[in-house]
Structure 1
Amino acid sequence: MKPLIAITCSLEDGRIFLNHGYYRAVERAGGIPVVVPPLGREQDLGELLDRVHGLLLAGGPDVDPRHFNESPRPGLGEINPKRDAVELYLCREAVRRRKPVFGICRGIQVINIALGGSVYQDIGSEIEKPLKHRQEAPRWYGSHEVRVEKDSMLYGLIKAETLLVNSFHHQALKDIARPLRPVAFAPDGLVEAVEGISEDAFLLGVQWHPEEMWEVYPEQLELFKSFVEAAARIDE
Structure 2
Amino acid sequence: MMTQTSSAGVRASGRPVIGIPLDAEDGGGYSKMPWYALRKNYVESVVAAGGLPLLLPHEPALVEDYLDRIDGLLVPGGAFDIDPAMFGARTRHDTVVLKEGRTAFEVAITRGALARDLPVLGICGGQQLLHVVLGGTLIQHIPDEVDNALAHEQPNPRTEAGHIVRVAPGSLLHRVTGALEFPVNSAHHQAAKASGPDVVISAIATDGVIEAIEHPAYRFCLGVQWHPEYHISDADTKVFTAFLQAAKESRPS
Query: Is the pair's TM-score, using the shorter chain for normalization, greater than 0.5?
Result: yes
Q: Deviations over 1:49-89 (max 9, x none)?
A: 01100000000110111111213433432111101110011
3-state SS, counterpart of residue 187 of structure 2: coil
Give the C-alpha shift of residue 94 in structure 1: 0.6
The partner residue of 2:45 within 20, 25, 34 is: 25
Q: 2:10 corresponds to which residue?
A: none
Equivalent residues in 2 for 1:137-216 (5 A)?
A: 137-198=156-217, 201-212=219-230, 214=231, 216=232
3-state SS, counterpart of residue 170 of structure 1: coil
Larger Rg computed on CA atoms: 2
Distance 1:75 1:188, change over 3 A: farther
Paired amino acid for 1:207:
Q
- Equivalent-residue separation in structure 2 for 1:71 and 1:8 (angstroms): 28
Aligned length in residues: 231
- Equivalent-residue separation in structure 2 for 1:73 and 1:48 (angstroms): 32
Say if 2:142 is the partner of 1:123: yes
Paired amino acid for 2:182:
L
Say if 2:235 is the partner of 1:219: yes
Distance 1:40 1:96, change over 3 A: closer
Maintained 8 Å contact 1:193/1:206: yes
Maintained 8 Å contact 1:75/1:121: no
Q: 2:64 corresponds to which residue?
A: 46
Structure 1, unaligned runs of 5 or more: none
The partner residue of 1:11 within 24, 28, 31 is: 24
Paired amino acid for 2:24:
L
Give the C-alpha shift of residue 127 in structure 1: 1.8
Runs ≥4 residues deviating over 6 A: none
Maintained 8 Å contact 1:62/1:76: no
Higher normalized contact order (CA 8 Å, seq sep 6+, divided by chain length): 1
3-state SS, counterpart of residue 233 of structure 1: helix
Say if 2:104 is the partner of 1:104: no
CA RMSD in angstroms, aligned pairs only: 1.2
Paired amino acid for 1:31:
G
Q: Deviations over 1:168-201 (max 9, x none)?
A: 0000001112142101000111110011122x51
Say if 2:12 is the partner of 1:2: no
Paired amino acid for 1:229:
Q
Give the C-alpha shift of residue 151 in structure 1: 0.8
Q: 2:247 corresponds to which residue?
A: 231
Share of identical aligned residues, percent? 36
Structure 2, unaligned runs of 5 or more: 1-13, 28-33
